Chains A and B, each alone.
Chain A
Amino acid sequence: MEEIKKIAKQLLSENKVQMVIGFEKGTANKVRPAFFTKPDDVEKLIYNEACIHNLALYLKKDICHHVSNVAIVANPNVVRSIIQLASENQVKEEKVTIIGISFEGKSIGILDFKAAEEFAKTQPKGLKPEDRAFIEKVQAMPMEERFNYWVETFSTCVKCYACRASCPMCYCGKCNVETNNPQWIPVASHKYGNLEWHIMRAMHLAGRCINCGECTRACPVDIPLNMLSYMLTDFVMDEFHAEAGLSATYAPALSSYTNIDKENFIK
C-alpha cells in the first residue's frame, strides 16, 4: 500500500504522468474509483479487498484523453484488460503506466507491457470452480429448460446497459444495439429484444472477455450474464488455444483462423 502511494506520488511529482487512477474511500464502508492529479491527493489512495472494480474501464473514457499520460493501479484483472485493450489498439504503451498490485494488495511495482504480459501469465488461468459449476449446471438442463432459463433470466433485464458501461472491452462509440438502420436489436426491453442483445454481446466478447465479472457486478437486477462470455472463454481456450489478455499482439479468436479448425459439424 505505502509502496503504491510512493510510486504514484513520484510519478505525479516528476510529471511522468498527469493522473493516477486508483481507489479512495467512499461513503459508508465502500470504496470508489479515484483520479489523482496532485501528488498530495495520493494520500487518499487506498487498496483493500473491496477494491474489485476493473479500473481499466476508465482508460477508454474521455477523462483520460485530456491528459497525455496516466498511471493506473492494476490488479491482475486490470493488467489483463490493459493488455487486451492494447492488442485491440485501444491503449498505447507510452501513455499508460501500470502500477501492478496483486489481488491481495501486494505491490509489484511499475510494469512495462512486457513485464505485464509475464505477470498476467503467472496468474491463475481459466474459470473459477464456482463459475464452472454454474456453467455445468445450466448445460445439464434439457434444451428447452435451458432456453427458458435464459429467456426468463434475461427477461428481467431493463436494458440499462450498465454491463456494457462497466466492461472495459465494450468501448465501441456507437454500440450495435443503438444502430437503427437496420434495427438489429429491438429497442424495448422485452424477452425477444433482451435475448438478442445478450446473444450479440456474448458473441462480441467471445475470445476477448478477460473474466473480471464486472458486468454482472454492475447489473442492477443480478443477471449472471458474464456466464455466457465465461463459457465462451473456456470454449475458445479449448478449441483455439487462445486466451485474451495475455499478449498485446494477440489476434482475437474470431478474427483469426487455422487450417485445422474443427468442422465435424459441417456437412
Chain B
Amino acid sequence: MSEFEPKIVAFVCNWCTYAGADLTGTSRIKYSSNVRIVRFPCTGRIDYMLLTKAFAGGADGIIVSGCHPNDCHYTSGNFYARRRWMVFRRLCDFMGIDTRRIIFSWVSAAEGAKWAQIVNSANEEFKKLGPYENYHKLSTQEIFE
C-alpha cells in the first residue's frame, strides 16, 4: 500500500501568506503537493465554520496563516483573528477535536522559504497522525444511521 498522503487545506490571507506562497514559487522552493490554498482577503475574514467544514469534508489537517502582528494590510484584522483562534482552539481542545491538526502561522510576503517549511512540517505531522477518521466518519456514513 502506498504511503498515506494527508489532505491539507490552507486558509491564507491575500496580502502576506498568499504572496509569500507566490514567492516560494518564484524562488522554486519545493514542498509537499498535499496542500490546497484557499485565498481570503484577510485572516480577519476566515470563518471557523470553514475549518470544521474542511474536517467534515475529509481534510486531515488545516493550515491557517496570515500577516505577522502589526503587518496586517488592514492594520488589525489579524489581531481579531488571533483572538478568535485562541478561543476556537480552546473549544476544540475541550471537545476533543484534534488541535494538532490545525496549524496556525504568520508568514509574510517575504517569507517564501518559511511557507515551504510550514507546509512540509505540517505534512509530516499530519502523516504521523494519520487520516482524521473520527471526524470524517461523522459526516459520511453516520448521517444515515
Does A202 sit within 8 A of B, measured CB to CB? yes
User: Given A184-B49, A191-B138, A254-B84, A266 and B91 touching (CB < 8 A)?
Assistant: no
Are A259 and B69 in contact (CB-based, < 8 A)?
Answer: yes
Q: Which of B19-27, B34-42, B103-111 contacts A (4 or more CB under 8 A)?
A: B103-111
Are B69 and A232 in contact (CB-based, < 8 A)?
Answer: no
Does A58 sit within 8 A of B, measured CB to CB? no
Q: How far is the CA of A28 from the CA of B95 in the complex (A)?
A: 39
The interface residues of chain A, by DSSP majority, are classed as: helix
Are B87 and A235 in contact (CB-based, < 8 A)?
Answer: yes
- Sorting the interface of chain A by its residue count into under 10, 10 to 19, 20 to 34 or 35 or more gives 35 or more
Does A210 sit within 8 A of B, measured CB to CB? no
Residues on B facing A (Cβ under 8 Å) = 48-49, 52-53, 56, 69, 76, 79-80, 82-91, 94-98, 103-106, 118, 134, 138-139, 142-145
Q: What are 22 inter-chain pairs, A to B, with CB distance below 8 A?
A: A135-B94, A141-B96, A147-B96, A150-B95, A151-B138, A186-B143, A190-B145, A192-B138, A196-B56, A199-B52, A203-B87, A206-B91, A231-B90, A235-B87, A254-B80, A254-B84, A257-B76, A257-B83, A263-B82, A266-B82, A266-B105, A267-B105
Residues on A facing B (Cβ under 8 Å) = 135, 138-139, 141, 143-151, 184, 186, 188, 190-192, 195-196, 199-200, 202-203, 206-207, 228, 231-232, 235-236, 239-240, 253-259, 261-263, 265-267
